[in-house]
Amino acid sequence: MSTKILEDLVDTPNPKLVSKFRKLVSFYIEKGQYGSALYWANKAVTLSCNATEDVLGLAECLLLRREFHRAAHVLRVRELDTSNIHCTYLTAKALYEAHAYDEALLVLQGANEAFDKARTQEDNNLGSIFLLKGYILEALDNRVLATEAFKSALREDIHCYEAFEALVKHQILTAQEEIDLISGLPREEEDLVIPLYEISLKKYNQPSDMVLPSVLAPLAENTDVQVSLAERAYYNCDYSLCFKLTTKVIKQDPFHTECLPIHITCMVELQKPNDLFHLAHKLVELYPESCISWYAVGCYYYLVKKHEPARRFLSKATQLDRVFGPAWLAYGHSFATENEHDQAIAAYFKACQLMKGCHLPLLYIGVEYSLTNNPNLAKTFFSEALCIAPKDPFVLHEMGVIYFHDHDYVTAELYFLDALKQVEKINDSALSSKWESLLNNLGHCSRKLSKFTEALNFHQQALVLKPLNASTYSAIGYVHSLMGNLMEAVESFHKALGLRRDDTFSTSMLNNVIEQLMVTVSPFPDYPNDLPKFDILNGKKTAIAINGRRPGK
């Protein structure tokens, strides 16, 4: 009798009770009490005789409790994963979170019935489906199809920022692809959403070029907008402004995930090891599973020149997020600093695959090829980098170096001067010491073109940036010797040898200049070369040759 009563209760849903349980599920999910939500969701499923709505609620609770395989099973055992778009999404999501990427992709590919229904009903869940598909393909290292999936997600749902972020965060797209992406978006949100997206896209524009529509003007101080400004400052090599902006954001939101990578990179550029140490320590303590935390640790060890631990921690960052390009770049730097060119190039190529829209991997690959005497390959990569960032002074400088070694001094000078022009635009005040090599190279180029006064001026400017540089003193001495200023040349070569005793060029040039002095300069400038001497035997005066010249000659 009791069994029959229970069967009747199960077969006859109580709408009032089911509704109450559903409200309890929603209430406890909002409060973050997923165990309570799961308990009542389970009861709602039974009372409603496996109603799709309640099965979805149960699967969602299991997902929130990170019981991924159980969540997928709840949906698949009822064959909801192929017939209902919401269930398809949750099943694939559960398998994705469980790292069963191939299985998750098969679920999406086998849900044709659910997709057809969603398209006929113009279901806005398709955007989420394509977003998830992009993540799955990305996890399977299929970058091309992942990019297309993210684009589809954005076309289906223009407000799906995660799809937009996946495309722009790691600079997957080239500049032209970014333009095509924006032009292909629905235009109903042209005045609101698209201007906000465009701010994040134009990284190589000047920060001053950013203009918000009047309706969005109050967002000028928004942290995301400030991060976009900081990115523009960084890619225009204005590291001081970039650090100022990121510091402002970090004060408001200490763990802003989009700001932290730029903030950390700026600390490396501006040589701030103490600040970076404290930040890295805090991040690892609070977010040990975040790739950004280990990126910060790796950058700190790179900055203090401990390259082995730097590589270890940067490698961990790339394992936590395989598409995190900055970690691959820093990983390459740790090899490049120790002249391990092959390993550095391999890391930079990986970064290049991930960051098609960024010029930095191309620049660093070119530098490594230049250092290994492959000027043609280096020039190819520098040219590609210039296509992306035509005003980057580092790329312009490296192109100048290539042409200088190719003995094309006129073209080299043009690149060097263009680089200096860009640097002076960035730094309204004094130049940073990192540009000492640019000024010295301009000096060498001017000397090759017989512009000795200009060459001397550039070398002296370089000396201001790095006062104790033996190479600069040696270059100044060489220019003085070519100008005939032999005493100044001797003084400069002596200073160079005082800083670097084994400088063979300065030693050789000093000997040559002293020999010239012996021939051309009188030891007693106020007296004639022919000094009188009394001949005791004959009682007559004769003259003694000075500087190897015979009397009367």
Give the rounded percent of residues in the chain with a pLDDT score beyond 90: 49
Residue 384 has pLDDT above 80, yes or no: yes
Q: Report d(CA 539, CA 541) in Å as an integer.
A: 7
* Separation CA 496–CA 261 (nearest Å): 41
The whole model's pTM is what? 0.81
Choice among 205-209, 246-250, 469-473 with the minimum mean pLDDT: 205-209
3-class SS of residue 257? coil
Give the helix, strand, coil percentages of the chain, each rounded to 5: 70, 0, 25
| C-alpha–C-alpha distance, residues 312 and 334, integer Å | 10
- Long-range (24+ apart) CB contacts under 8 A made by 93-102 are 93/63, 93/132, 94/59, 94/62, 94/63, 94/68, 94/69, 95/68, 96/132, 96/135, 96/136, 96/139, 97/63, 97/66, 97/68, 98/68, 98/69, 98/72, 99/139, 101/136, 101/139, 101/140, 102/140
Helix (H) or strand (E) holding 533: strand 531-535
**Phi and psi at residue 251, in whole multiples of 5°?**
-65, -35
Give the highest mean pLDDT range of 184-193, 198-207, 325-334, 525-534. Answer: 325-334
Q: Does residue 543 carry a pLDDT above 70?
A: no
Q: Tell whether the model's pLDDT for residue 378 goes beyond 50.
A: yes
Would you say residue 533 has pLDDT above 60? no
Residue carrying the six token digits 């969603």: 118
What confidence category does residue 551 fall into, taking pLDDT thresholds of 50, 70 and 90?
A: very low
Q: How far apart are CA 552 and CA 99, in angstroms?
A: 99
> What per-residue confidence (pLDDT) applies to 124?
66
Q: Are 260 and 284 in contact (CB under 8 A)?
A: no
CA 113 to each of CA 93, 108, 120: distance values in angstroms, whole numbers, following the listed order? 18, 11, 11
Low-confidence winner among 30-34, 165-169, 198-202 (lowest mean pLDDT)? 198-202
Q: Which domains does the chain have, with CATH numbers?
A: 381-520 (1.25.40.10), 525-553 (no CATH)
Least confident stretch, 131-145, 197-211, 462-476: 197-211
**Is 529 a residue whose pLDDT tops 70?**
no
Most confident of 49-53, 189-193, 354-358, 508-512: 508-512
Quick one: pLDDT at residue 545?
Answer: 45
Which residues contact residue 258 at a Cβ distance below 8 angstroms, ignoring those fewer than 6 apart? 169, 224, 227
Q: Per-residue pLDDT averaged across 120-138, rounded?
A: 83
Higher pLDDT, 191 or 230: 230
| pLDDT in the model for residue 426 | 77
Checking if the pLDDT of 7 tops 60, the result is no
473 pLDDT exceeds 70? yes
315 pLDDT higher than 60: yes
In the predicted structure, residue 428 carries a pLDDT above the cut 80:
no
In one-letter notation, the amino acid at residue 245 is L
pLDDT attached to residue 111: 74
Residue 237 pLDDT: 84
Instruction: Say if residues 197 and 212 touch (Cβ distance below 8 Å).
Output: no
What does pLDDT average to over the chain?
85
244 band by pLDDT with thresholds 50, 70 and 90? very high
Using CA atoms, how far residue 193 sits from 74, 147, 153, 298, in Å, is 38, 20, 15, 36
pLDDT at 234 over 80: yes
What is the CA angle 207-212-217, rounded to 5?
115
More confident residue, 9 or 406: 406
Residue type, 53: E
Whether residue 1 has pLDDT greater than 60: no
- Give yes or no for a contact between 401 and 441, defined as CB atoms under 8 angstroms apart: yes
CB 489 within 8 A of CB 512: no
Whether 344 shows a pLDDT value over 80: the answer reads yes
Residue 543 phi/psi, 5° resolution? -115, 140
Give the pLDDT score at 546. 43
Q: Judging by DSSP bridges, how do beta strands 540-544 and 531-535 pair with one another?
A: antiparallel
pLDDT computed for residue 440 by the predictor: 94
* Closest by Cα among 50, 53, 48, 52 to 13: 48
* Cβ proximity of 228 and 220 under 8 Å: no
Distance between first and last Cα of the chain = 143
φ, ψ of residue 22 to 5 degrees: the values are -65, -40
pLDDT of residue 547: 45
Which is nearest to 169 in space by CA: 124, 193, 138? Answer: 138
Predicted confidence at residue 207, as pLDDT, reads 63
Give the per-residue pLDDT at 519: 78
Average pLDDT over residues 424-437: 78
**Of 76-85, 275-284, 434-443, minimum mean pLDDT range:** 76-85
CA distance 219 to 225: 7
- State the pLDDT confidence band at 340, using cuts at 50, 70 and 90: very high
CA distances 122 to 28, 107, 118, 251, 475, Å, are 31, 21, 6, 43, 72
**56 contacts: CB under 8 Å, gap ≥ 6:** 75, 86, 87, 90
| 203 in Cβ contact with 231 (< 8 Å) | yes
How much is the pLDDT for 541?
47
**Phi, psi (degrees; rounded to nearest 5) at 309:** -65, -30
Task: Report the candidate in 87, 149, 94 with the shortest Cα–Cα distance to residue 118.
Answer: 87
State the Cα–Cα distance between residues 88 and 111, nearest whole angstrom: 7
pLDDT value at residue 166: 87
In this predicted structure, the answer to whether residue 206 has a pLDDT above a threshold of 80 is: no
Exposed e or buried b per residue across 488-516, where buried means at least 16 C-beta atoms within 10 angstroms of its C-beta:
bbbebbebbbeeeeebeebeebbeebeee
Alpha helix positions (H), 372-522: 375-388, 393-405, 409-426, 436-448, 452-465, 470-483, 486-499, 504-520
Mean pLDDT within 542-549: 45
Cα–Cα distance measured from residue 395 to residue 360, given in angstroms and rounded to the nearest whole number: 9
Q: What percent of the chain has a predicted confidence (pLDDT) above 70?
A: 86
> In this predicted structure, which of 133-137, 222-226, 334-338, 399-403 has the lowest mean pLDDT?
222-226
Q: What is the mean pLDDT of residues 363-378?
A: 93
Residues 60-70: tens digit of each pLDDT: 999 999 999 99
> Whole-angstrom Cα distance, residue 422 to residue 432?
13
- 265: pLDDT confidence band, cut at 50, 70 and 90? very high
**Tokens read off for 377:** 């390959």
Q: Is the pLDDT at 245 greater than 80, yes or no?
A: yes
Specify the DSSP class assigned to residue 391: T
What is residue 280's predicted lDDT score, i.e. its pLDDT?
A: 95
pLDDT at 532: 55
Rg (Cα) of the chain, in Å, rounded? Answer: 35
pLDDT of 145 higher than 80? yes
Question: Which amino acid does the sequence have at 187?
Answer: R
Give the residue, 124 or 107, on which the prediction is more confident: 107
